[in-house]
């Protein structure tokens, strides 16, 4: 059974067949459980309820750019687990699943770039849920032009804004790694007032 992490209708490796409401994952309910969740049924119910609560945590929805050591190793990935972490220095963290190709590239390249997407371009996040086709000569990923700034991690040319980060620290956080990067470059590629895409602008979920 596919993992329930993404819904609905996404073409990710794990979630291609998920319907509107995600089902419990293949690994079954995950503890710990609060008092009163004693039977298998109560635990399964609690597992689903906790997922719905976690899904309600507001978040942005970004495209994360990474690059490895080879010329053609570039990737863009849809990601919503991102946050600023410090005023001084300017630190931003992203949580990347260990099995993702992006994870390998961030480890190799020691950098990442977050593209903030214009709300009008919401359909674009569906294009980056599996490793992309790279055309270094044309400077496109899955046919979408990208630009590079200080670190060389790809940034969607049509992004509303970007933060380009050099990895300073990594934390193993369960099945993900939390990469903490210092912002070494940032800017707007569109009008500064362009509305930025958030998870709630889509029917997608991740996590839970």
Distances (CA, A) of 84 to 20, 79, 94: 31, 14, 9
Q: Does 114 interact with ligand FMN (rule: CB under 6 A)?
A: no
User: What's CA 23's distance to the chain center, in Å?
Assistant: 21
8 A C-beta contact, residue 76 and residue 106: no
Please choose, out of 8-16, 45-53, 111-119, 178-186, the segment that lies near ligand FMN by the rule CB under 6 A: 8-16
Rank residues 22 and 160 by Cβ distance to ligand FMN and give the closer one: 22
What SS3 class is residue 31? coil
Which of the 8 DSSP states describes residue 180? Answer: E
Question: If residue 104 lies in a helix (H) or strand (E), which one and from where to where?
Answer: helix 101-109
CB of 3 to ligand FMN, least distance (A): 10
| Cis preceding-peptide flag for 89 (omega within 30 of 0) | yes
Q: Does 6 interact with ligand FMN (rule: CB under 6 A)?
A: yes
Encoded one letter per residue, x for contact with ligand FMN by CB under 6 A and - for no contact, window 56-95 reads -----x-------------x-xxxxx-------------x
Please choose, out of 17-25, 32-40, 127-135, 163-171, the segment that lies near ligand FMN by the rule CB under 6 A: 127-135
Tokens of 201: 């602008």
Tokens of 21: 């409401």
Per DSSP, what are the bridge partners of residue 162? Answer: 115, 187
Return the closest-CA partner of residue 64 out of 191, 200, 201, 177: 177
Rank residues 19 and 34 by Cβ distance to ligand FMN and give the closer one: 19
Q: Which of 100, 116, 141, 156 contacts ligand FMN by CB under 6 A?
A: 100
Q: Does 115 interact with ligand FMN (rule: CB under 6 A)?
A: no
Please choose, out of 10-18, 43-51, 140-148, 152-160, the segment that lies near ligand FMN by the rule CB under 6 A: 10-18
Q: Does 134 interact with ligand FMN (rule: CB under 6 A)?
A: no
Distance between CA 184 and CA 164 in Å, rounded?
Answer: 6
Q: Does 162 interact with ligand FMN (rule: CB under 6 A)?
A: no
CB of 42 to ligand FMN, least distance (A): 29
* Interface residues toward ligand FMN, by CB under 6 A: 6, 10, 12-13, 61, 75, 77-81, 95-97, 100-102, 129-131, 176, 204, 206
């Amino acid at each position: 059974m596919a993992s329930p992490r993404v819904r609905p209708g996404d073409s990710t490796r794990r979630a291609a067949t998920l319907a509107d409401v995600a089902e419990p994952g293949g690994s079954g309910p995950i503890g710990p459980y609060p008092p009163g969740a004693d039977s298998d049924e109560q635990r399964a119910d609690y597992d689903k309820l906790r997922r719905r609560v976690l899904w309600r945590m507001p978040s942005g929805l970004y495209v994360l750019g990474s690059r490895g050591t080879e010329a053609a190793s570039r990737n863009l990935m849809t990601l919503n687990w991102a946050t600023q972490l410090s005023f001084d220095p300017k630190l931003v963290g992203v949580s990347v699943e260990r099995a993702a190709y992006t994870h390998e590239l961030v480890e190799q390249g020691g950098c990442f770039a977050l593209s903030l997407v214009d709300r009008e371009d919401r359909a674009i996040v569906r294009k980056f849920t599996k490793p992309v086709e790279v055309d270094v000569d044309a400077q496109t990923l899955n046919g979408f032009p990208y630009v590079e700034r200080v670190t060389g991690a790809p940034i969607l040319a049509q992004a509303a804004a970007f933060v380009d980060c050099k990895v300073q620290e990594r934390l193993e956080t369960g099945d993900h790694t939390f990469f903490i990067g210092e912002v070494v470059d940032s800017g707007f590629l569109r009008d500064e007032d362009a509305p930025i895409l958030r998870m709630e602008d889509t029917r997608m979920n991740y996590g839970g």
